[in-house]
Structures are given as structure tokens and as C-alpha cells.
Homo-oligomer: A and B are copies of this chain.
């Protein structure tokens, strides 16, 4: 079955209160804000210098390179975000600014197609000598993704041409043929980008180069060992990764410990893992490779059934920003980088395209409503890099937990997360639908429209609802003929009803969690889906030691948390009785409009002794929970998702 996403050129429109808000924020706040950041126009924040680096390379400014070795990728992600945002928010001034940056890139590009400001300014003689650490191919990948997106939105080829020239150079440099470097990137990204370039251009050599990078990974003799020896003879500058190499995780840090087909467990840096696994799934689809698909499924099982936070957060340890062992999911010291959850969304989409199974969409939805958007405040100006599930007063002084900020920050020296989240939000509609020849799959409930052709029948669906706060979804059909519509019944939903044109249908024709409506459709047919949205008490697997005896609250896809601003200090001392009824109510003026939860709880009274034989005195309190993604938008303080249950 050939699946494709339905995501190009305004085929999907968003008229969704929740996401329109976010998309508008990206268009009106985040893009201009990040533009200022890239141009060093933000006061009191770490400078970016990212645009200036290109100017210096182009000979249009004087100065030295500044920034991380992957500073170029911030510009790329900004351009990619702009490309998506222009689909919903045309803005000629913005497009002009983007064109100017693209034009600057063209002037900065070397004669032979090379384009990386770090190497061009700092180590001009050392191109491709440190694939392990220096993100050269990673930056190229982000630029390719941006170029593809920009071409797809605007039809302008300039950026795509620049990047196809660069990719040509990369192709002539890397591969198994004699005389080529048999390397691959320490940080995956270009693989995914090349597959997108293949999809857009139809040029098979892009797919082949992606396949090379994926399959070469982890082969012996190990390229990074050879490269290191080579580099020592060159006298190239040392990097952050020469001491305490790979955080003592070995090449597992970068998922290069084994050839990818032998990988069965998620290891190492979680963002790198997501980008690699997404590319593997993409390649498996494009090459119809069942073996590679099985590898992706084993990895999916490992991540989502053993190593994922309830928020869709990934990465249990700051050391290597990495996965650790199965069921090791500490809530306060974890990493849970915004980029990792964004990457999980990318991977989930690729898995859905391989095979429309609710389990992928459930995780995708979990990540987008929780661990991704928690990375940005509600006015789009401050960001979390690390998304804790629990913030305690006593963590403040811990030097080993300095990565866990208790408030969102304005900008980061390593600014990967804000633009990554921005490009996800700006393109959120690309994650709502996929289709096969005869079926349109609805994965996400995103109010708005989708237009496509199913079995040669032009079809338009229109979703209306107040999801995720309400569970009543109305879908109107435009299009006449026989085709199949598949609607995801979310995994969290234990009671769903449906009707077509008022006629109640039994939800019995289910395929992998999708309710299939296969019939002759007529324009103005009206489908009603109703998902019961009770407040759910969620329990962890007994092997997650740190969550035992605790419960999390979830309603629909939204995970809730308690904040100090609502519940006072010492949140760990709160207790939620098993039998307490929890009420949900929409509060329009709170946090841009959210459903909040309230219930009767208990709180352990303060006491002096550290240890005592009297069990804590529990006093009645009213508990108030807000959506996790919106925490720390009123005031900083304690927060926790997992609540002790009595």
C-alpha cells in the first residue's frame, strides 16, 4: 500500500481555535522575534551572529565567526518556518527578507557548492574532517529541508538550486566508491532532508545518497575511528567531544554503535535518534523495505513502551542528553529536550505513512499537545530547552541539575529548540492526514479543511470542533462517489459514538484503531464523531519506579499538572484520593482559554521531624490542575505531573 501525506500547498487549512492561535503566534511573534535573534537585535540575550556569519563569508562584513558549529542551522530552521507560515499568513515583507537571506547564502556559497560558515571562516582547510562532532552535514540537511519547504510554498527555485549544488558536492564527496569518504554525520538530519529533496525533485540520486548515509552508519571499520586518526595528523582544533568522548556512551551516543539494521533498542542522544529513526522509516517507505520497517517498529516499541515520558518527552539523562535504560524515567533530572519531542512527531508521521496505525498517531498527538508546545510560553517569547515533569524547590541549588531551568529563557546560546518548535507549529496541518489510493486517514482533529483526490474523486472535508477541549467533531463532506474515510478513534478514548447524517453507526469496522466509513458519499454528508472526554487517571507501568503510587491526570490528549501558583508549595505533599471526583471546566480567560481540573485533595501538614512514626496528618485542600503545556505562564514555582494517590 502506497501512502502519502496530504500536506502540500494549502491543501489543508487550519481554522482551529487551539492551533490557529499557535500558528498566529509563530507568524506574528516567533518569526519576527527569531529574526531579531538571528540578527543580534535582541537586548539582554545571548547573541546569535548567524546571519552575520553568512555576511562575513560573502565578503560583505568584516569580523570573526561566532556561535556553535551548527549556527547555520538556526537560519535554516527560521527559513523553513517562514516557508510554512507563508502558506497560512502571506507576508510579502517577510518573504522579501527570506529571499534576501537566500540571496546572501547564494553569495556566500563557494564555487564548488560548499556552504558552511563555520568551516569557511574558521577551518577552511578542514572540510569533512570531523563529521563526528561538527554538524557539517547536519547543517546541510537543515538547509535542504528549508529549501524544499521554501520551494513548495513559493515555487521559487533559488534556494533549491543553491542546495542542489551543495548536495552535488556532498554526493561527489561521500559514498562507497573508491576515492570517496565513507563517512556519515555524527548528528543525523541530512538523511531526512535528502528524502524530502527526492520527493520534491523526483531525482533518485537524492534517495540513494540518503540510503548511503543511513546504511553506512555504524559499519566497521568504524569511520569515526579512522577520521579521528586522520584528524590528529591534520592538527585540526580539538572539540568539546575530544575529552569525555561521546559522554562515555560510545558510538551509541550517536546511534552509530551498530549498523542501523541491527539496532533494536533506542540509545544515545535522543534528538539524534529521532532524526535517524524518522529517516529510516522514510527510506523504508520509499524503498518498500520490510526489513527496515521492522527495525523501525522494534525501535518504536522500545521508545514508546519503555523510554517515553507521559508528555511525549524523551531523554532520561542530561549526560549525553540521552536515553538510558528501559523504565528509567526520573521526573526532575531528565532532559526531555523540546527538539526530541519535535523529532518524535517527525518520526511518528513517517511511521503513519508506512502504516496507518493508531499507535503512531496517539504518540504524535501526545507529543504535540504536551512535550513540544511546553517548550514555548503562550506569548511566544520564552522557551524551555529542557521540559521537566516536576520542579521542586530543593532542586535550585543542585549544580548537576542546572540544565533544568525553572523558568523559560529568552534565547539560548545553543538555540536549536525555539526554531524547531516554530517549524513544527507552522506546519502542524501536515500531520493531520495521510492517504492511500482509496482511503483518506484523519489522524489529528484539527478544525479546518482538507482537499485531495481519493480514487480519482475530488474530495474536501471540513472539520468543526473545539478540540482538544470538547470531543464533538463534525465533519462535512464535499465530493460525490465511493471512497473510504478513516477516522482515528484515539487510543485514550474509551467511549466514542458516531453518526452519518444523523444515523448512528456502530463503531465496528475498525482497522488498526481507525473507524472506516466506506460508502457512496454525497456533498453535504455530515459525519459526527463524539469522543467522551472524562478526566482520566493515568498510572505508570509498575517498572517505572519513580511514578509508583502516583497518578497523572489527562483529559483527551492533554496531560495536566499542578502548579505552585494554584496549589501552594510542597506539591509532593499533596494527595489525590482515589475516589475524589474531578471536575473539568473551560476557563476562557485563563492561559488563552483552557479546561482546568478541580478536585478535593489532601495535603500533608508541615512537620518538623525528618522522620516520624506517625503518618503525615492530611488536611483537606482543593486541587487545581492546568494543562502541562501551559505551565509557568503565570509565575515560576513548583510544578508536578505525577500526584500521590491515596
Contact of A325 among B318, B395, B538, B548 (CB under 8 A): B395
The answer to the question of A620 belonging to the interface, with a C-beta cut-off of 8 Å to chain B, is no
Find the B residue at minimum CB distance from A640.
B545
- Report whether A542 and B616 are in contact in the complex, using a CB–CB cutoff of 8 Å: yes
Report B-chain residues with C-beta under 8 Å of the C-beta of A545: 390, 392, 394, 571-572
Number of A positions contacting B (CB below 8 A): 69
Chain B residue at minimum C-beta to C-beta distance from A571 = B545
Q: Chain B contacts of A572 at CB under 8 A? A: 542-546, 548
Complex alpha-carbon distance, A543 and B610, angstroms: 9
Is A151's beta carbon under 8 Å from chain B?
A: no
**Contact bitstring A501-515, B, C-beta under 8 A = 1, else 0:** 000000000000000
A539 touches B614 (CB 8 A): yes
| Interface positions of A from 620 to 646, Cβ below 8 Å from B | 644-646
Contact call B612/A539, Cβ cutoff below 8 A = yes
Cβ distance A509 to chain B, nearest Cβ, rounded Å = 25
Partner of A395, one of B304, B328, B540, B644: B328
Instruction: Give residues 290-336 of A contacting B (CB, 8 Å).
Output: 304-306, 308, 310, 317-320, 324-328, 333
* Residues of chain A at the chain B interface (Cβ within 8 Å): 247-249, 304-306, 308, 310, 317-320, 324-328, 333, 390, 392-400, 492, 494, 536-546, 548-552, 570-573, 575, 578, 603-616, 644-646
Chain B residues with Cβ under 8 A from A400's Cβ? 317-319, 400
B395:A549 contact, CB within 8 angstroms = no
Closest to A617 in B: B542
Separation in Å of the A270 CB from the closest CB of chain B? 14
A sample of 19 inter-chain contacts (CB < 8 A) reads A247-B399, A248-B399, A305-B608, A305-B610, A319-B398, A325-B396, A328-B398, A392-B545, A538-B611, A539-B611, A539-B615, A542-B573, A542-B605, A544-B610, A545-B571, A548-B573, A548-B604, A549-B645, A578-B615
Bound-complex Cα distance A540 to B539 (A): 23
**A428 CB to closest chain B CB, in angstroms?**
24
A318 CB contacts on chain B under 8 angstroms: 400
Contact among B248, B538, B646 with A612 in the assembled complex (CB-CB below 8 Å): B538
Residues of B within 8 A of A249 (CB): 399
Which B residues touch A320, using CB under 8 A? 399
| A328/B394 contact (C-beta < 8 A), A305-B608, A608-B305, A610-B304 known | yes
Chain B residues with Cβ below 8 Å from A570 are 542-543
Closest Cβ–Cβ distance, residue A74 to chain B (whole Å): 28
How far is A248 from B605 in the complex, measured between Cα atoms in Å?
35
**CA A550 – CA B395 in complex, angstroms?**
21
